[in-house]
Amino acid sequence: MATTDLHYLGLVDVGQKIHAKELSSVEVTKAMLGRIEQLDGKLKSYAYVMAESALAQAAAAEKEIASGKVRGPLHGVPIAVKDLCWAKGAPAAHGMTIHQDFRPSEDATVVARLKDAGAIILGKLQQTEGAYADHHPKIDPPKNPWNADLWPGASSSGSGVATAAGLCFGSLGTDTGGSIRFPSAANGTTGLKPTWGRVSRYGAFELAATLDHIGPMARSAVDCGAILGVIAGQDPKDTTSVPLPVPDYLADLSDNLRGVTIGVDRRWTSEGTDDAAAKVLGEGLRVGADLGAKIKEITFPDPKAVIDDWFPLCGIEVAVAHEETYPSRMDEYGPALAGLLDLGRQQSGMDYQKIVLRREAFRGAVRLLFEAVDLIALPAQAFAAPTLAKMGSLGEDASLIAGLLRFTCPFDMTGSPTVTLPGGFAANGGPVAFQFVGRHFDEASLVRAGDAFQRVTDWHKRHPGI
């Protein structure tokens, strides 16, 4: 295979070819670095390219593989990580100017685990300021590779763009209110938000500690499962990580969903949802039924209060994370993140406790639903493929961001795992997605369901024409 033809191969597929010595890790890495150099001046998905260390890692991987040692599915495969994840010696700006000179002296746990698995780290991917809604005014935002007039998603914008454009074979993103799911939907990639506590957050800048999730973004559910299998698991450096065994997410995959019950609240998922988003969800449910799943009508607990609560709760946690630099250096902050910080600093202890109680009650109500269903299906977002013009006031328009968060932030408030799957296109040519939500720590069911769906559909195999 010519290296010019490989950039849209699946992560697991390219790994198998490298391990079979049909491809060279060094040549694949060189090809990806060349593609980044060719295209990313326009796409702006990378905050920092780590070419020298990537080639050194590839050479080491090639030597090990030649000796017969294969560390796993990621060994020798080039991927990239969101900029807020520390990589020793490389800049980690967190989408901000304040941190532009920060070079950590150690790797984030997720980065260390990727390296231990033999993955090749191509670089750090651009993100919104502080991982909130908007890019810092002084930073060029990534461009959606399907159409530069379309929103690339937030906050893991670079992760979505680079993965969709074939500038890496997979990436890491983070999700606090929807930031794995938004860019996955916007760019036509697959995203897996793990259960809170499944993946260590050590060595990653915080947005909001009890809402932040680190997870994989790739071009298939199988590829997401391969990455999650590497980064998941207890970490003594992050005592909120949960001491549960990490399953083999690539085991027990099948071409059917027999025995799986998928719940859907048709009223909630249709109210205020545009035609494209509704159509993709409907088609996802039809495919699920064709694959043998039982579709069960459910009544989802009213999420309005927790959506409203997300803003002040996130603001409080962000204010703690930025205590050393805000408000003392407030002039260096963009308006969206500054507004969230101000909101958080205005809350009282009484306000906070009421939010905590409502959150716990909602978490319990959602947990009860999973006594009757295995998965819940819903849109990735209420309005499909939004334009940059529509999203221009995202960080400062409460009604716009509340509408966007409608199907995402409830599952950051509960800490539930989700998988986002491309399922069609809007009239403007932008990708459209839907999502499955699973039980806590049952990411394996999400990988299986996503893989079954992707075996009989080809939405995840469609790529921007670049």
Q: With bands split at pLDDT 50, 70 and 90, how would you rate the model's confidence at 4?
A: low
C-alpha torsion 93→317→113→11, nearest 10: -80
Instruction: Give the max Cα distance, the chain.
Output: 63
CA distance 465 to 33: 19
Range in 3-7, 285-289, 302-306 the model is least confident about: 3-7
The 10 Å Cβ neighbour count of residue 319 is 20
* Per-residue model confidence as pLDDT tens digits over 61-109: 999 999 999 999 999 999 999 999 999 999 999 999 999 999 999 999 9
Catalytic one of 179, 220, 416, 445: 179
The per-residue pLDDT for 403 is 80
Rounded to 10°, the helix 304-321/335-345 angle is: 100
On average, the pLDDT of the chain sits at 97
pLDDT in tens, 234-273: 999 999 999 999 999 999 999 999 999 999 999 999 998 9
Provide the pLDDT for residue 225. Answer: 98
Spatial separation of the C-alpha atoms in residues 85 and 117, rounded to whole Å: 17
Encoded tokens for 73: 């599915």
Q: What is the pLDDT of residues 362-394, one digit of tens each?
A: 999 999 999 999 999 999 999 999 999 989 877
Q: Which of 82, 115, 143, 193 is catalytic?
A: 82
Whether residue 82 lies in the annotated active site: yes
461 noted as active-site residue: no
Interacting residues of 240 by C-beta distance below 8 A, sequence separation 6+: 196, 197, 201
* Banded model confidence at residue 398, pLDDT cuts 50, 70, 90: confident
Closest CA to 179 of 412, 11, 382: 412
Which of the residues 155, 241, 416, 445 is marked catalytic?
A: 155
Token reading at 285? 């449910």
Is 179 known to be catalytic?
A: yes
Q: What is the pLDDT of residue 443?
A: 98
Reply yes or no on whether the pLDDT at 22 is more than 60.
yes
State the amino acid at position 220 in one-letter form: S
